[in-house]
């Protein structure tokens, strides 16, 4: 069971940054989209200025995301649409890295779909993705990925202090080619939501996530 009514905070009891939680959902969503576009644009411009775009091609894709919580309750389901950009890791972070390592910037938005109670969700995440090329086949390329981001959930479980939280994720996936054109991919992730101790109430939410998408 989760609580849908927002908490009422007194100004003298909380830092001013927590008032961001009172913004409308559409404002949170637009802010996340602007942040994602800013990150992607800055990365592309930085690479283009040094003439290194195309060494490992930038890749972009879309995915459908289906999740279900397992802790503290197993009755919250959510559906998201996710867009992402994938870059060569060492071109972004400027230090030696394995050839198979990539850097992913991802933005997701959607809602819960539980018992006719639709509540908005949006997140921006950064992940490291590593291709397991030793196990790759001609049309299959497995990988592992992990990272962290910021998530806004328009709901709270009991004991969850904030609606804006950290969003660590980790999982495994595989790219696969069907016919001609860009590959599809599928992934399974562990998905966590908590505030990292920024609020005294820090009950986390843990979920299993299934992703299915395609590069373009």
What is the pTM assigned to this prediction? Answer: 0.78
Residue 137 has pLDDT above 70, yes or no: yes
Which residues are within 8 A (CB) of 203 and not within 5 positions of it... i.e. 6 or more apart? 72, 157, 158, 159, 160, 161, 194
Geometric angle at alpha carbon 210, from 141 and 208, rounded to 5°: 125
Q: Helical H runs in 70-158? A: 89-93
Give the tens place of pLDDT for each residue, 53-106.
Answer: 557 899 999 999 999 999 999 999 999 999 999 999 988 888 889 999 999 999
Which pair of tokens denotes residue 215?
A: 């590069």
Percent of the chain scored above 90 by pLDDT?
63
Q: Say how far apart CA 192 and CA 140 lie, in whole Å.
A: 28
* Rounded distance between C-alpha atoms, residue 57 and residue 215, angstroms: 12
Whether the Cβ atoms of residue 145 and residue 82 lie closer than 8 Å to each other: no
Structurally, at CATH architecture level, domain 2-215 sits in: Beta Barrel (2.40)
Residue 27: the pLDDT is 59
CB 193 within 8 A of CB 52: no
Q: What is the mean pLDDT of residues 143-167?
A: 94
What Rg value do the Cα atoms of the chain yield, rounded? 18
- Integer Cα distance of 62 and 72 in angstroms: 29
Q: What is the DSSP string of 194-207?
A: B-TTSSS-B--EEE
What ranges do the domains of the chain cover? Answer: 2-215
Mean pLDDT for all residues in the chain: 84
CB of 206 closer than 8 Å to CB of 190: yes
Residue tagged 């030696």 (tokens): 96
Strands 101-112 and 164-166 turn out to be unpaired
> Of 201, 204, 193, which Cα lies nearest the Cα of 169?
193
């Amino acid at each position: 069971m989760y609580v849908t009514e927002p908490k009422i905070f007194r100004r003298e009891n909380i830092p001013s940054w927590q008032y961001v939680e009172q913004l409308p959902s559409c404002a949170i969503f637009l802010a996340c989209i602007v942040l994602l576009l800013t990150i992607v644009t800055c990365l592309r411009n930085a690479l283009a200025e040094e003439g290194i775009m195309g060494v490992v091609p930038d890749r972009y894709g879309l995915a459908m995301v289906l999740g279900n919580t397992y802790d503290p309750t197993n009755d919250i389901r959510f559906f998201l649409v996710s867009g992402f950009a994938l870059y060569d890791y060492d071109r972004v972070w400027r230090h030696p890295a394995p050839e198979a390592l990539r850097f992913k910037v991802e933005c997701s938005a959607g809602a819960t779909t539980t018992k006719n109670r639709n509540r908005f969700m949006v997140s921006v995440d950064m992940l490291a993705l590593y291709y397991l090329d030793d196990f790759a086949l001609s049309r299959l390329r497995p990988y592992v990925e992990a990272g962290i981001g910021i998530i806004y959930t328009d709901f709270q479980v009991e004991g969850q202090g904030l609606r804006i939280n950290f969003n660590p994720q980790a999982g495994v996936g595989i790219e696969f080619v069907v016919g001609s054109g860009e590959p599809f991919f599928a992934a399974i992730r562990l998905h966590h939501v908590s505030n990292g101790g920024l609020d005294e109430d820090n009950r986390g939410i843990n979920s299993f996530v299934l992703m299915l998408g395609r590069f373009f």
